[in-house]
A and B are shown apart, each in its own frame.
Chain A
Amino acid sequence: MITAPLLEVGVLVLGMVILMFEAFATKIDKRILAFAAIAGLAIVLVATFFVAPVPSPNQATGFWNFYTVDRLSVFFKQFALLTTILVLIMMIDYAPAVRSSFPGAHDGLGEFFTVPIFTCAGLMYLVSAIDFIFIFVSLELVTISFYVLVSFTRKNPVTLEAGVKYLVLSALSTAFLVYGIAWIFGVTGQTNLQRITEALATPSTDQSATLLGMVLVLVALGFKIAAVPFQIWVPDVYQGAPTPVTAYLSVGSKAAGFVVLLRVLRPFATLPQMQRLLVLIALLTLIYGNLAALPQGNLKRLLAYSSIAHTGYLLIGVVCLDSNAVVFYLVAYLLMTHLSFAVLVIVAQQTGEQIADFDGLAKRSPFLAFAMLIGMVSLAGVPFTAGFLGKFFIFYAAILQRQIALVVIGVITVGCGFYYYLKVVRAMYWQPAAKIDNISVSTLSRIAIGALIAATIWLGVYPQPILDALKR
């Protein structure tokens, strides 16, 4: 058995070692670093299954004021590690695009593989954070490393513009977060979530000031999870960023945002205005994300809008305060999003990232087409895929809470979803190919994609392992 904080320490040490090695071993093929990082993260991933229990937050002191190890956090540490590993695998495929941005043959590549390790550590801290100061610090570690990653291919103006937009809007959300935390601290005199809950329970606490603080924090988290009306950065940044980074943003950053949201909302759930506000945001997000996705012709942009749409479904779960449904949805979302992006990275380098570039993919590479098919039908929510069960649990929670408006809009937007996801399927299977050439897929990617397909279907048929992992 090991104590949980060692996991993050392990990840950080891994990052430093690889950074050092990168600096001094100049002659090697830098992709070796990625393999080392994947191996190291895999070891940490295994170690997460042997985490010892810790004191409960009620009697916490010192270190444990900031850091908790509950089921949710351990689960999301595994989630973060898995996401990072998958992103690193995609990054290896993406290496040529990075190489062309730097003068030397291997300049920049080492850092490209190292920064995600630090992001991963940030994510792992974030999901354990139960104190606003700690949430702020680890969230900023994640955000700043994303600034670097998003604008990494620095010769491409589109990428840099994406970087600028991401930076400005993230910094704006940080300002809101900090100001909100200041208000919550001012009202309660505490930054620890548990203590805030206790302070809010006393009737003398000022309701409207608390609400102001919480709304400001909500605005900030709304930016992170891409909820309407704070989604304006998403399409541009997703389209402009290097594709593996887009996948990382849409899965890792969003999942962390939701974990924080779930944790932060809990003390404030007693305020009725809070729920009305969340319902409104969820409705707007569902409608905007799905409608805006309909006319898209660029697959990366389509996935950006679809990521907004999925935020909407996740928010339904948040409104119902059903963390299990949210978590299951996030797991499903991880699998299917990574699946689509893994195929996108490979195909985009051959032809392009428009949906039209996928024409006839079934002929050019049946394997990739099948993987994309599974990814798309799962995103759309077809039974026997993880995506369906995710929606099922979400709708289940919503019906149980009698959130009629959310359910009705949810069902209608699912119909829209079918339309735009199957547009990709149509391109792959129904359209003739523009050029006939076989696309080669590296063994590692093949294994990763195969595993993702298997997991998507497996969880769609047999969800019990995840449900068990959350319950214990």
Chain B
Amino acid sequence: MVLFVIFCPIVAAILIMIGAPARKMAVAASVLTLGATLLLLASFSPEQHDFQEVTSFPISSEWHLSFTTGIDGLSLALVLLAAIVTVAAVWFAGKIDKYQNAFYACLLFISGGAIGAFASLDLFFFYAFHELALIPTFLLIGIWGGGNRVAAAWKITIYLAIGSFILLLGLILLYQSVPTASRSFDIRALKAAASLGQISGDAQRHIYLLLLIGFGILTSLFPFHTWAPEAYAAAPAPAAMLHAGILKKFGLYGLLRLAIPLLPEGARHWTNLLVLLLLGNIIYVGLVTIAQKRLDWMLGYSSVMHIGYIFLGIASASILGVTGAVVLMFAHGLSIALLFALAGELRKRTGTLVFEELGGLAKVMPFAGLAFGLGAFAAIGLPGFANFAGEIMIFFGAFKNGWEIGRFHIFQIATVLALWGMVISTVYMLRAYRKVFMGALNERWTGLVDLRSALRVPVTLLVGALLCYGFFPQSFVRMTTPAFRTYLTANK
């Protein structure tokens, strides 16, 4: 089943490149993937601590390299996110002017690559699938992007290529840090070695730093975030949805999957650094976001800012905070995808996203206005949306962090500052909503029509998922928490 979920988009992408009808095939494949993921969700037993649905194909016995896939609560959450966002993105894509087949193939490659990375239990394929998803992103921005697409594509290419090679170095070091006898690319084997204390403290500190920088670049951790807003502003809407919604979560997933469980000593050592950087994300980037004059840039910066909260949850290393981080990853993926989709649709219709030129659009596009409002509320973290649950858990988890560091430590200060970040995000989101959808309607836009009913499907899907897990976060928490219980309790 896991294999089907990974390869359904990839095979569909190949078929589309060969010449299958692009849109039908892509929608069918993404819906099938979502269906299969829901089946996985239904058959998943949260009580079990281990990986489930494991399949393995040996590649190289000498290197202990095999293509192994499997899921636990953490990966299942992200696979589910990927499946939902893929359906929405593919549905939203509509008709493409040039190279339609290639466009849909790229979208499906991103989706398949991301799911593959989330479901791989093998370091090598974990890395390789992510790279497989990155290349189509570059192409999507370079070929179909708008605005300053070439510059944006170059920037993201160089940035992410260097980031992923730094990550590769970290992974190789991780592989080499365990004694020769237990060397393996299998994450489970590495975890076993780590729990036996076979990775020395020194090695942990070095490797964690490399992984933090590598994943940090991929995830736009301050100060490596500058590629993100530019790329999202230039990217076509479905590409921005997929990258900001799914692919950027890869770095966070990597930290949760590898860095914390395998390198607790390293994580502890670099906690202060990480907290400082994520405050940069929340406060500095938040303030920069307020200053933006265009909707797409604002959304790009806001996605960078919200990553800061997720990093806070990861840094806290408490079960509550980490689970909150997963919930927020999921919720943020959905809400940012929703916002990028609507922004892309606005750009398609009006040709501009500059705040000064827009205004009062809710009068002509009530459905889009409503959806954007819900997305904005979700992004702010109002109760009722999944984001709220995630942020609350992160704040509590961070305040009473898993390192058991006493009062008035950097964590408490960070939590208080991060709460101010909520205010910042409220300011820029509501300001954007007011500038775009409220106020006097510009003459130029009186002829605009609202979203067609076909486009309402993905919007409804995303909003529905947000609300569903907003009201019932408990089902989500029950699914993901066991994934952390084993090693985070051991931390204490």
Contact = CB atoms under 8 A, between A and B. Distances in A.
Interface stretch (B161-169, B241-249, B370-378, B444-452): B161-169
B474 interface: no
26 contacts: A377-B135, A380-B161, A381-B165, A382-B131, A382-B135, A384-B128, A384-B131, A388-B128, A395-B169, A395-B172, A407-B169, A411-B166, A411-B169, A414-B162, A415-B158, A415-B161, A415-B165, A418-B157, A418-B161, A419-B154, A430-B142, A430-B143, A462-B59, A463-B59, A463-B60, A464-B60
A212 interface: no
B139 interface: yes
Given A415-B158, A467-B62, A422 B128 contact: no
B176 interface: yes
Nearest to B138: A422
Interface in B149-165: 150, 154, 157-158, 161-162, 165
Contacts of A419: 154, 157-158
Contacts of A462: 59
Contacts of B158: 415, 418-419
B3 interface: no
Contact of A426 (B63, B99, B142): B142
B132 interface: yes
Interface string A389-414: 00010011001100000010001101
B161 A399 contact: no
Nearest to A380: B161
Nearest to B130: A383
A383 B127 contact: yes
A383 B142 contact: no
A419 to B, nearest CB: 6
Interface of B: 59-60, 62-63, 99, 127-129, 131-132, 135, 138-139, 142-143, 150, 154, 157-158, 161-162, 165-166, 168-169, 172-173, 175-176
Given A411-B166, A430-B143, A464 B128 contact: no
A429 interface: yes
Interface string A454-472: 0000000011100100010
Interface of A: 362, 377, 380-384, 388, 392, 395-396, 399-400, 407, 411-412, 414-415, 418-419, 422, 426, 429-430, 462-464, 467, 471
A412 B169 CA distance: 12
A457 to B, nearest CB: 11
Nearest to B143: A430
B123 to A, nearest CB: 11
A400 B174 CA distance: 11
Nearest to A417: B161
Given A383-B131, A422-B138, A429-B139, 20 more contacts: A377-B135, A382-B131, A392-B168, A395-B172, A396-B176, A399-B173, A411-B162, A411-B166, A415-B161, A418-B157, A418-B158, A422-B157, A426-B150, A430-B142, A463-B59, A463-B60, A464-B60, A467-B60, A467-B62, A467-B63
A294 to B, nearest CB: 11
Contacts of A467: 60, 62-63
A383 B60 contact: no
B58 to A, nearest CB: 9
Nearest to A419: B158
Given A383-B127, A429-B143, A400 B176 contact: yes
Contacts of A414: 161-162, 165
Contact of A399 (B60, B129, B169): B169
A415 B172 CA distance: 18
A-B interface, 7 closest residue pairs, ranked by CB to CB distance from nearest: A383-B128, A415-B162, A383-B131, A418-B161, A411-B165, A464-B60, A399-B172
A422 B157 CA distance: 9
A7 B295 CA distance: 69
Contact of B132 (A383, A407, A411, A412): A383
Contacts of A464: 59-60
A380 B165 CA distance: 12
Contacts of B128: 383-384, 388
A471 B61 CA distance: 12
Most buried by A among B60, B63, B169: B169
A316 B62 CA distance: 22
A463 B143 CA distance: 32
A209 to B, nearest CB: 38
A365 to B, nearest CB: 15
Nearest to A397: B172
B22 to A, nearest CB: 15
A240 to B, nearest CB: 31
B162 A399 contact: no
A137 to B, nearest CB: 37
